[in-house]
């Protein structure tokens, strides 16, 4: 065997090149596609979406009026598309966090983590490789739903803008929830612990925040009613504060952000901003919830990735 000089890592690479050269991504993708799990997830996803869309279609088809008017057909198209995207959003939240939750902790449990740590693979490449594999797998799940969601195109009513927003929404969700799973996987020693914590966080983000938002809305309405008498704010200021807090809460839950964006598209016919009218008649505009959602979840992903790299890099003390 002749001596092989260890190649220094090239500094600049395209993302595609980096992805092809990252051994972790390749290994993870190979392992995922080799097992039965990937096939099972794709099949269950297609069955769930297909079943739901069929149900909607059959309900509409039972009404003979549906096929008489183009606007009824467009409504059917919109409903199929919104249902498919909404369902895919829920599935993506859970599959993303669960597909990344064993990324680091399972290496520890399998006793392969130390072997990786003594190679020249930087902690950053290990974390990003695991994340890329999880996100790519979830994108595959999302892609597998396209044939079902595209049934809506037969009926019309779905705009290019809506397709673009839905795509951004799903991709950001896949990235963010994979980052959440990965973060807990790097932080906790056992996969079972990481799974439990990650599931709780996912449930809080999905359902806890909308419930919290309703409670806060009730409390803030009271505050607005009393105006400045107790808080020292004028009623307009109190109303502005309430609206901002509610807008923020709407934007940080995938469900509320998704529903609010859908309502915005249906009612206001605009996808970029949300206008709220105060009791004195003044209109206040906020960025559309999906924009805030994208920004917040991208920032959260970056933070969680950085923390995961730090946890992986840590030398035992």
Partner 1 sequence: MPPIIEIKDLSKKYGKRTAVNQLNLAVEAGEIFGFVGPNGAGKTTTLRILATLLRANGGEAFIAGHSVRKAPRGVRGVIGYMPDSFGIYHDMRVWEYLDFFGACYHLREGERKRLVNDLLELVDMTPRRDEMVDKLSRGMQQRLGLARTLIHDPQVLILDEPASGLDPRARVEIRELLVELARMGKTVFFSTHILADVAEICTRVGIIEAGRIVATGTLDELQRGLATQRAVHISVLDRATEAQEFLSALPGVGGVEAHVEQNQQQRTRLEVKFTGDDAALSAMLSGLTARSIPIVHFSEDSQNLEDIFMQLTKSSLD
Choices 29-37, 52-60, 153-161, 260-268 (CB under 8 A): range interacting with partner 1: 29-37
Interaction between residue 65 and partner 1 (CB under 8 A): no
In degrees, to the nearest 5, what angle opens at C-alpha 80 toward C-alphas 36 and 143? 35
Q: HSE-up of 63 (CA within 13 Å, CB side)?
A: 11
Q: Which of helix, strand or coil describes residue 183?
A: helix
Contact with partner 1 (CB under 8 A) among 65, 111, 279, 283: 111
> In terms of DSSP H, where are the helices of 204-234?
209-226, 228-231
Of 25-33, 173-181, 193-201, 208-216, which segment contacts partner 1 by CB under 8 A?
A: 25-33
Whole-number Cα distances in Å, 27 to 19, 31, 263: 11, 6, 42
Query: For 7, which DSSP code?
Result: P
Give the whole-angstrom CA distance, residue 123 versus residue 115.
13
Q: Which of 13, 27, 230, 310 binds partner 1 (CB under 8 A)?
A: 27
In this structure, the chain runs to a length of 317
Cβ-based nearer residue to partner 1, 44 or 115: 115
Phi, psi of 220 (to 5 degrees): -70, -30
- Residue 116 engages partner 1 in binding (rule: CB under 8 A): yes
Q: Does 16 sit near partner 1 (CB under 8 A)?
A: no
Q: Is 52 in the site for partner 1 (CB under 8 A)?
A: no
Q: Which of 115, 164, 263, 302 binds partner 1 (CB under 8 A)?
A: 115
Q: Which lies closer to partner 1 via its Cβ, residue 39 or residue 226?
A: 39
Residues 298-317 that bind partner 1 (CB under 8 A): 315-317
The residues binding partner 1 (CB under 8 A) are 1-4, 6-9, 21, 23, 26-27, 30-31, 34-35, 107, 110-112, 114-121, 315-317
């Amino acid at each position: 065997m002749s001596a092989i000089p260890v190649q220094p890592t090239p500094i600049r690479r395209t993302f595609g090149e980096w992805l092809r050269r990252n051994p972790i991504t390749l290994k993870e993708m190979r392992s995922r596609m080799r097992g039965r799990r990937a096939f099972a997830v794709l099949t269950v996803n297609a069955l769930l979406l297909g079943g739901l869309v069929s149900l909607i279609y059959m309900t509409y088809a039972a009404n003979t009026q549906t096929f008489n008017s183009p606007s009824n057909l467009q409504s059917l198209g919109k409903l199929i598309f919104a249902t498919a995207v909404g369902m895919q959003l829920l599935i993506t939240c859970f599959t993303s966090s669960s597909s990344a939750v064993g990324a680091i902790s399972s290496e520890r449990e399998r006793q392969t983590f130390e072997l990786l740590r003594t190679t020249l693979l930087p902690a950053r490449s290990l974390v990003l490789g695991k994340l890329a594999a999880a996100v790519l797998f979830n994108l595959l799940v999302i892609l597998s739903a396209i044939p079902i969601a595209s049934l809506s195109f037969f009926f019309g009513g779905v705009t290019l803008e809506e397709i673009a927003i839905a795509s951004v929404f799903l991709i950001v969700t896949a990235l963010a929830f994979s980052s959440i799973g990965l973060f807990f996987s790097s932080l906790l020693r056992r996969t079972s612990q990481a799974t439990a914590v990650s599931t709780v966080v996912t449930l809080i983000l999905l359902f806890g925040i909308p419930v919290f938002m309703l409670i806060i809305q009730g409390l803030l309405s009271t505050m607005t009613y009393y105006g400045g008498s107790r808080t020292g704010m004028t009623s307009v200021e109190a109303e502005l504060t309430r609206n901002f807090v509610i807008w923020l809460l709407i934007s940080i839950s995938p469900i509320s952000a998704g529903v609010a964006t859908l309502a915005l598209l249906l009612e206001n016919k605009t996808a970029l901003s949300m206008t709220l009218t105060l009791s004195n008649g003044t209109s206040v505009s906020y960025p559309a919830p999906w924009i805030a959602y994208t920004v917040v979840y991208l920032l959260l992903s970056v933070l969680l990735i950085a923390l995961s790299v730090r946890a992986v890099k840590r030398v035992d003390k």
